[in-house]
Structure 1
């Protein structure tokens, strides 16, 4: 059971890392295309710009985390034939994973 928990954490970490990097790249590219400049850094940007960037990058991070968790759980279920540690049969994500 301990091995499964560690294995699940490693799988989840790998999926989350890759998806987070892609999400960051996508948000940064969208910002550059939309605003014509780099994302705000330091104290050179105005509050509106900083808040807009924070909302956009935060939303992308949350969506990426959920996507990575879903895909990692699907991979785990397909690879091991069992649900990842911590998932229960009644979980809505579990039901989505088990439908073909």
Structure 2
């Protein structure tokens, strides 16, 4: 039952992270460039500089948002169940 709870919590965290990252990306891009973000960076009409900048920015923002949201979900899970989700448990070296 706990693994199902963690999977649900992790999925909800991923959705929340994606929404937050998307909003942050759009606001950041508009603030820095004054333009709308590229809707299809792979489009040959999008400049290489714009496509690469969008890919780097979106990768970083999405990665950080996902990490933050999953950490919060894990903290909530530990507080609720008293143990770390098995999916996040580290393999400690045996002495």
TM class by smaller structure: 0.7 to 0.9
TM-score (norm. length: structure 1): 0.79
Q: 2:51 is paired with a residue of what secondary structure?
A: helix
Aligned residues: 89
Q: 1:86 is paired with a residue of what secondary structure?
A: helix
- 5+ residue gaps, structure 1: 92-100
Alpha carbons 1:4, 1:85 under 8 Å: kept: no
Report the alpha carbon displacement of residue 18 of structure 1 after superposing the two structures with TM.
0.8
- 5+ residue gaps, structure 2: none
1:1-100 residue pairs with structure 2 within 5 A?
3-42=1-40, 43=43, 44-88=45-89
Alpha carbons 2:13, 2:69 under 8 Å: kept: yes
CA RMSD of aligned residues (A): 1.7
